[in-house]
Chain A
Amino acid sequence: MHPAASIIVFTTLSGLGYGLAVVLGLGFLGPSLLSSKIAYVLSLTLIGVGLLSSLLHLGNPQRAWRALSQWRSSWLSREGVMAIATFVPLTLSTTLAIFANRHDTVLGLITAFGSLVTVYCTSMIYASLKTVDCWHTKLTPLCFLLFSLAGGFLLASAIAGGNALVVELLALLFVLLALVAKMVWRKHAATRQPRSTPESATGLGFIGKVRLFERPHALDNYLTREMGFRVARKHAAKLWVVAFVCGAILPILALLLSVAIGSGLSAQLILCAGILAHLLGILVERWLFFAEARHAVMNYY
């Protein structure tokens, strides 16, 4: 699948923002601290930038509001509805934290729940597609949710600057869980039998082995550009190492170092480096998520 930059940026940033919103919603960071107020604003910013970025790949973004109408059948629509619905408690929580130094438990729980549901909806857009074998598994939403939580707790640790040991330990836990889930996902993607083959796509399997003799056209078309993307596949193994090291190993090292050092500027700097590495790792992971995915229509090409 073609890895559209806007979609990669959207899923990465909004995933991180919603993860942070969960941490804030559950009240892990004290609302009176300046760092927590920054965290609230950062969470809103990440989600907002992510959602705006998602509009960039649309053919007619001026009609995007229509995407809120079909929540009964469409995961994309559900995602839009949940994203906007979650803005309400998150914005209220932010206002409370900034102006009243307060964290409202009910509002916080609603924020955390809405954030997780939104990330789930995002992941189900991909997981619900039977046409892309490696996406069509329950492991896809699991990975998205764990990545979001790992990023959220990691970012919260960096913002708290080593003053929140529980958050750091939870960050460590979620990064490890996300890593394991992603490795299982990759194994599943690499080993599963494709649902469709050139034989089933043409119905000619009863004669023998089917292979393309002549394409319908000499050059690329929308389908081959969108579903037949190949550039990153060439370097997939190297890119996975980058994603693995930056997304998981460096953040884990940063967390362990920070726990060892305790609070202070050096701990905060180390954690900031950790979250930046994680962000890069997730961007690469998301790139691979699209670029490595093989679509059933390519059985015709």
Chain B
Amino acid sequence: MTSLPQNPTATKLGLVIDLDVCVGCHACVISCKEWNTGGYGNALSDQHPYGSDVSGTFLNRIHSFEVVPDGGEIVGEAGVARIVHFPKSCLHCEDAPCVTVCPTGASYKRAEDGIVLVDEDKCIGCGLCAWSCAYGAREMDLAAGVMKKCTLCVDRIYNETLKQEDRMPSCVRTCPANARHFGDLGDPASDVSIMVAERGGFDLMPEQETRPTNKYLPPRPRKSLSDIAPIVPLAENSDGARGFFAWLDKTLDRI
């Protein structure tokens, strides 16, 4: 059924992504592809993997953005320009337009935990759900002709054959910087909800009115370079030199 669940789901499983911590290593991209190409539904195919025009289906991608404060192009002129690595996957929206536009009932949002999934046996590959998603969370697999998207590793998180510490999405388990967190955002007492409240976690494109479950934590403020500059010793300053180096300094000065 492509109508959304009647009542807002109580459990809202999702991710919290810390933009302050992500180092842009793409480990989550690779582990996601590796897990999901052999797990839920069709494999994530690649096209021309050894040719010049390589492309393939991914459920998670890392963009890197440069943010330049107002009024400045040069570093230190007005705040500090910075690079922010930006992981992006399905946000498991509460008002998911990808679910309601689906003509076949393949796309659905689970009432029990809010995960948005695709029943690949029903998908006709029309691509309308990808058009309706502002976040680029859905990619058509060109080999299978069906829509692929993040399943929140539904085949890991409830999987009792895995060890307890592995029952989380592959991207979260893999992240070496601990920039990704998994939990129930419907429970205000959960670790992820507390983290979002403390750090001022935000929604992506709130103006699209999709009410994403996944939240992003903002990069922490930084000291500006001009504040730090005076404590950096100048290369030509030899005031503190003592002993042999003081003698060498004086001698070289005399030459």
Contact = CB atoms under 8 A, between A and B. Distances in A.
B216 A227 contact: no
B79 A297 contact: no
A69 B105 contact: yes
Contacts, number: 205
Residue among B66, B141, B202 with max Cβ neighbours from chain A (10 Å): B66
Interface string A34-63: 000000000000000000000001111101
Contacts of A72: 2-3
Contacts of A213: 64-66, 83
Contact of B136 (A75, A209, A211, A297): A297
Nearest to A59: B125
A80 B132 CA distance: 18
B87 to A, nearest CB: 9
Nearest to A131: B134
Given A60-B124, A72-B3, A295 B131 contact: yes
B198 interface: no
A185 to B, nearest CB: 19
Given A59-B125, A215-B63, A74 B140 contact: no
A202 B68 CA distance: 13
Contacts of A263: none
Interface string A214-226: 1111111111001
A59 B141 CA distance: 9
A207 interface: yes
B231 interface: no
A202 B65 contact: yes
Contacts of A300: 63, 86, 88, 135-136
B103 A209 contact: no
A296 B134 CA distance: 5
A64 interface: yes
B127 interface: yes
A128 B103 contact: no
B124 A222 contact: no
B176 interface: no
A227 to B, nearest CB: 7
Contact of B126 (A57, A216, A220): A57
B173 to A, nearest CB: 20
Given A58-B125, A60-B123, A202-B65, A219 B216 contact: no
Given A203-B216, A215-B63, A222-B142, 10 more contacts: A64-B124, A67-B103, A131-B133, A200-B207, A202-B204, A203-B203, A212-B65, A214-B64, A222-B130, A223-B130
